[in-house]
């Protein structure tokens, strides 16, 4: 059902106030509204229901800066919500890169997932910086030739400023998201073929059996497996988080980087060429049956703009009812 | 046939002396021998034969530094051989990152390809730094939903130091390399299905028709297409090279980054955890029919070590004859 964005924001912030102060609640609400408005429903306010709703997170410690240099910061999240701490990390990455040209911020010991990484890299690109973000989660994906779930679904995102909306690319290095498994399992549906294997390495289309087995890397070969490994290293060993964590007990980790294009070329030229590149792709000849070539993130951004214009967002009524919002 | 490495080196350096001084010839010979010894034959001394042998490159200008900061350098290669200039760029990236924690070096206007990017990122990781390298080439690969060859085959490589041999990952973002097309075409062979399309977007297994059409991104979907776009931006607009260059006349471009893990965690811990990650992957349960799980780059490195041990390298006799080496 449609709900007014201002009304939804008030309700979300009030719910989040359970364990977060007003500023913190606003930061998390910003993300949740962005995800809903962008049509990224699996990473939106669905995070407020289920067995681990984010408003119930009781952090075991403070957010602590464990290392700080001109170009970098390592943050121990103290089991605070990833949605909160990753925003802080993004702001830090932006301010350091604005001043020094580059930054890398590592976060470990967050509670659960950051949501969609494109949210953070978009913020970085809006500040005229190139953004890179990556995250590891507990083991769910088997490396190429292995049948053990050593890697997380390990998303990575890149963003680039243009003269208009930034180019924002975001993908899991697994064939599907772990949330996709949870959702299919809850609905009693099967998953497509060639996405996952059971514990012994046999193909399966059962999401429950896949959760006990492993997802496959997205191209089912060494390339996406290698990319999954790259993310595992950048967000595991590089942030003091866990890695190759099949016991599912280790720390989640994320890394945010920002690069000032001015280090190599003039920012105005860079942005204008990135805009031109978008136009060249969009105006290229289309594959038979394709009506429009969309850049990564374009569809989500259009949905977001529609919501801004109408002041309303479409939200699953079941979720709104569970939260007592309607 | 087998040839002694010292003998092959002398001959290669002598051939390269045609247009390169002794130091330059040694740098390029180092690469060519490494590629041959690593079994990367399509990027090895085959580059000394054919229509554009590297010893015949007559640069149109000097190698010029166009921008230089503590963290960065932009190099105009003056149409010198990419194999030469990318080595210089790698050395610069290493020394800047050693001093300041991070570096990014862009190169444009090189003559043709760098060869295998893993050569450069391996050098970076051997200096206890994380390496990232990417390259663009003239348009050969169609973005997802497009049938125009807007992107190059756009390889990207990542490397990580360990307590032993670095982890080195290297891949093209296209379904196959452009050299693979050239080779199949020269041999009159067809290419596998689902690798390429003709000029009108129809599937083709003819390498000649594919060269006039386009390669597909490696997973034939938006993910590898997005990665191809990321490489196109990092090595096109970000280095003042060409981009989306279907006319095939624009400049080649490359970007090299080095990141000191000490920015976030202690290097000794990082290296030891990367070694442990390698062991965890290698000792995980194998897919049915797989005798050994290999890390990216592992097979090449083993071939390289065998050559070092024996003092000899296996080289295609046809190439050696064409070069007058036997």
* Residues B106, B5 within the same domain: no
Closest chain A C-alpha to B148 CA, distance in angstroms: 6
* A277 closest CB neighbour out of B101, B233, B255: B233
* Residues B19, B152 within the same domain: no
Report whether B210 contacts B174 (CB < 8 A). no
CATH number assigned to the domain comprising residue A319: 1.10.1530.10
pLDDT above 90 covers a percentage of chain A that reads 94
Given CB atoms, is B187 within the 8 Å cutoff of chain A? no
Number of alpha helices (DSSP H) and beta strands (DSSP E) in chain A: 10, 12
On whether residue A216 sits in a domain, the answer given is no
On whether residue B202 sits in a domain, the answer given is yes
Beta-carbon contacts of B16 under 8 Å, excluding residues fewer than 6 positions away, are B24, B25, B28, B29, B54, B55
On whether residue B289 sits in a domain, the answer given is no
* Residues A127, A79 within the same domain: yes
Given CB atoms, is B277 within the 8 Å cutoff of chain A? yes
pTM, to two decimals: 0.98
> What H or E segment, with its residue span, contains residue A256?
strand A252-259
On whether residue A184 sits in a domain, the answer given is no
On whether residue A233 sits in a domain, the answer given is yes
Sequence length of chain A is 326
Mean pLDDT, rounded, of chain A: 96
The predicted model gives A112-133 an average pLDDT of 97
| Domain housing B185 | 176-215
Report whether A251 contacts A133 (CB < 8 A). no
Chain A residues within 8 A of B283 when measuring between CB atoms: none
Confidence at residue B179, expressed as pLDDT on a 0 to 100 scale: 86
Report whether B108 contacts B147 (CB < 8 A). no
Sequential pLDDT tens for chain B (326 residues):
999 999 999 999 999 999 999 999 999 999 999 999 999 998 999 999 988 899 999 998 999 999 999 999 999 999 999 999 999 999 999 999 999 999 999 999 999 899 999 999 999 999 999 999 999 999 999 999 999 999 999 999 999 999 999 999 999 999 999 989 988 998 899 999 999 999 999 999 999 999 999 999 999 999 999 999 999 999 999 999 999 999 888 999 999 999 999 999 999 999 999 999 999 999 999 999 999 999 999 999 999 999 999 999 999 999 999 999 99
End-to-end, the C-alpha distance of chain B in Å comes to 10
Total number of domains in chain A: 2
pLDDT tens-digit series, residues B134-157: 999 999 999 999 999 999 999 999
Which A residues, 64 through 103, put their C-beta within 8 Å of a C-beta on chain B? 67, 69-72, 74, 100-102
Confidence at residue B248, expressed as pLDDT on a 0 to 100 scale: 87
* Residues B44, B78 within the same domain: no
Parallel, antiparallel or unpaired: strands A156-160 and A167-171: antiparallel
Closest chain A C-alpha to B281 CA, distance in angstroms: 7
* Residues A232, A96 within the same domain: yes
pLDDT tens-digit series, residues A67-89: 999 999 999 999 999 999 999 99
* Residues A163, A82 within the same domain: yes
* Residues B8, B133 within the same domain: no
* Residues A79, A156 within the same domain: yes
* Residues B152, B27 within the same domain: no
* Residues B106, B254 within the same domain: yes
pLDDT tens-digit series, residues A156-202: 999 999 999 999 999 999 999 998 998 899 889 999 999 999 999 99
The predicted model gives A201-218 an average pLDDT of 98
On whether residue B293 sits in a domain, the answer given is no
CATH number assigned to the domain comprising residue B183: 3.30.60.50
Given CB atoms, is B244 within the 8 Å cutoff of chain A? yes
On whether residue A33 sits in a domain, the answer given is yes
* Residues A160, A84 within the same domain: yes
* Residues B105, B231 within the same domain: yes
Closest chain B C-alpha to A13 CA, distance in angstroms: 33
On whether residue A176 sits in a domain, the answer given is no
CATH number assigned to the domain comprising residue B100: 3.30.1370.60
Confidence at residue A179, expressed as pLDDT on a 0 to 100 scale: 86
Burial of A316 (0-12, 13-18, 19+ CB in 10 A): middle
């Amino acid at each position: 059902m449609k709900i007014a964005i201002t009304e939804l924001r008030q309700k979300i912030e009030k719910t989040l106030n359970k364990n977060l102060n007003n500023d913190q609640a606003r930061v998390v609400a910003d993300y949740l509204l962005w995800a809903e408005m962008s049509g990224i429903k699996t990473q939106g306010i669905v995070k407020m229901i289920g067995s681990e709703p984010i408003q119930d997170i009781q952090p075991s410690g403070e957010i602590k800066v464990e290392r700080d240099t001109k170009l970098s910061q390592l943050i121990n999240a103290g089991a605070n919500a990833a949605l909160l701490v990753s925003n802080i990390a993004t702001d830090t990455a932006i301010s350091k890169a604005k001043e020094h040209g580059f930054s890398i911020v590592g976060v470990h010991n967050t509670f659960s997932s950051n949501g969609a990484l494109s949210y953070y890299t978009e913020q970085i690109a809006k500040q005229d910086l190139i953004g890179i973000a990556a995250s590891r989660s507990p083991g769910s994906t088997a490396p190429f030739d292995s049948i053990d779930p050593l890697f997380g679904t390990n998303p990575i995102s890149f963003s680039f400023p243009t003269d208009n909306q930034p180019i924002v690319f975001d993908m899991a290095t697994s064939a599907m998201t772990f949330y996709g498994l949870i959702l299919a399992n809850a609905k009693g549906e099967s998953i497509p073929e060639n996405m996952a294997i059971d514990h012994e390495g046999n193909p399966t289309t059962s999401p429950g059996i896949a959760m006990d087995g492993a997802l496959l890397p997205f191209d089912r070969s060494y390339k996406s497996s290698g990319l999954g490994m790259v993310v595992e290293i950048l967000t595991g060993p590089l942030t003091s988080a866990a890695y190759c964590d099949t016991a599912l007990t280790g720390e989640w980790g994320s890394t945010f980087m920002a690069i000032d294009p001015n280090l190599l070329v003039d920012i105005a030229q860079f942005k204008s060429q990135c805009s031109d590149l978008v136009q060249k792709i969009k105006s290229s000849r289309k594959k038979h049956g394709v009506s429009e070539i969309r850049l990564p993130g374009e569809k989500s951004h259009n949905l977001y703009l529609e919501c801004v214009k109408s002041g309303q967002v479409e939200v699953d009524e079941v979720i709104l009812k569970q939260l007592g919002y309607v």
